Amino acid sequence: MSELYQLTATEVVALMRRGEIDSIELVEASIRRIEAVDAEINALPIHCFDRARAQARELSAAVHADNARSLLGLPIAVKDYNDVGGIRTTYGSPIYADNVANTSDATVARLERNGAIPIAKSNVPEWAGGHTFNPIFGITRNPWDTRLSAGGSSGGSAAAVASGSVWLATGNDLGGSLRTPASFNGIVGLRPGPGRVPRGARLPAFDVLWVEGPMARCVSDVALMLDAGAGHAIDDPLSFDDHGDSFLGALQGDELPKRVAFSADLAIVPMAREIADICKSAAERVRDLGAEITDQIPDFTGALDGFRALRAALFATMMGPILADHRNQISPDIVENIERGLNITPNEVFEAERIRSQLYHRMVTFFQSHDLLICPAASVPPFPVEQRYVEEIDGRPCETYIDWFSITFALTMTSCPVVSLPCGFTAEGLPVGIQIVGKPRGEAMLLRVAHRLEKIYGVAEQLPIDPRTPA
């Protein structure tokens, strides 16, 4: 047998279901791998090892045996924006450096009820951002090249998965925080539609920009984690139960797309030429599934300005009181975001909401003639860790520190599910991903198509990797 960390989550859960291994073995295998590689990438700075061992000893296989969606004691990483009971949650901020959560939040609690065991917290940017570094734990590095960024804000989760430290990790996604690091690290990340995965009470209850989603090495593992994490929680009024087939089972379905649209830039964002070419070639492989490809995409006019306004309003809602009390302990970029929200005009909010509503209905119309929309998952390859953010793309300057991932936040405005799927490599051997956008509540079809394409692209077969620092 291969070392356990080299197997997929789907494979090790199947072994546990057959009684060939147990949760304690997996916990110890994960701890050994973390201790072997994490010093090089700094993906998992907060450890829950003793808690995980205790949970593994107490987990009753008999109780979980009849639960087809249980992870049966599989260790996972939890992003440090989510609460795990009895463990620190810092948000990457010195204000909360010693904050210990009393209970797990709705996202984590549901996973724990379905047999997940948090083994570590993954590193994050301070409060938000597309590059994972903060004043408490420092920089998370990309295991494909430790000189480069792992992306963000789920960079710690993505790097931990790619390096084999854990089989699964939680991510969350506001403007691309799950999809960008998935692309940078060559793994799969799913931004589900709002309500599919319950969210904790820290977030505004009726916000639909921020969602929680699974991250894994392959599509079947993402589906496995979605089965364990999806459903209704009282903390989240938008969450709902789904009594349909499991997402893992849906991967074997026969329904495939007949018509797919591809765009390298959604007609609104800058894009590095090499990335555009790689993603275009990858999208062409959809023909192997019998689909026609067009360039007839929805009109995304106004989506970027609308997102910036709504994101600013969300930051002000969540962090206005924190800014009032702790301004000197918050990074200037985040202060600027909060103040932008505090100073936003009613007309800007009204216009952003009109744009969002119009875009959603354009997507509904688009899906009357198409099954999927495909575009790149990032406008650039991973960049040096010394850079705070990308300042220009293909010679075009970025106006703000978030503009370089506008290819993802434009899609946030649609409220459609999106999967980030690795599809190839740059000339320097760095991972490149595509985004595949599905119909509202269309996660099952989305994952099925991604599962088929994953076999064509062959990137998942190269994971996990040992951290690399090229000469």
Whether residue 332 has a cis bond before it, omega within 30° of 0: no
Tokens representing 196 are 């599919």
Rounded to 5 degrees, what angle do the CA atoms 218, 220, 224 make?
A: 120
d(CA 344, CA 256): 44
d(CA 350, CA 348): 5
Q: How far is CA 421 from the centre of its chain?
A: 11
Tokens representing 12 are 């090790």
φ, ψ for residue 171, nearest 5 deg: -135, 160
CA distance readout (Å), 294 to 320, 387, 396:
45, 37, 27
Annotated catalytic residue within 30, 153, 239, 420: 153
- Containing 171, the helix (H) or strand (E) segment is strand 168-173
Q: Is 121 a catalytic residue?
A: no
Burial of 362 (0-12, 13-18, 19+ CB in 10 A): middle
Answer left, alpha or beta for residue 111, where phi above 0 means left and psi between -120 and 50 means alpha: alpha
d(CA 90, CA 45): 11
d(CA 118, CA 167): 11
378 and 407 in contact (C-beta within 8 Å)?
Answer: yes
d(CA 174, CA 127): 12
d(CA 392, CA 394): 7
Q: Is 177 a catalytic residue?
A: yes
Backbone Cα Rg of the chain? 20
d(CA 356, CA 422): 28
Strand partners, 148: 384
230 and 211 in contact (C-beta within 8 Å)?
Answer: no
d(CA 230, CA 221): 14
Annotated catalytic residue within 30, 70, 79, 379: 79
Annotated catalytic residue within 177, 263, 331, 379: 177
Q: Is 183 a catalytic residue?
A: no
71 and 143 in contact (C-beta within 8 Å)?
Answer: no
Tokens representing 82 are 């989510």
Residues with catalytic function: 79, 153, 177
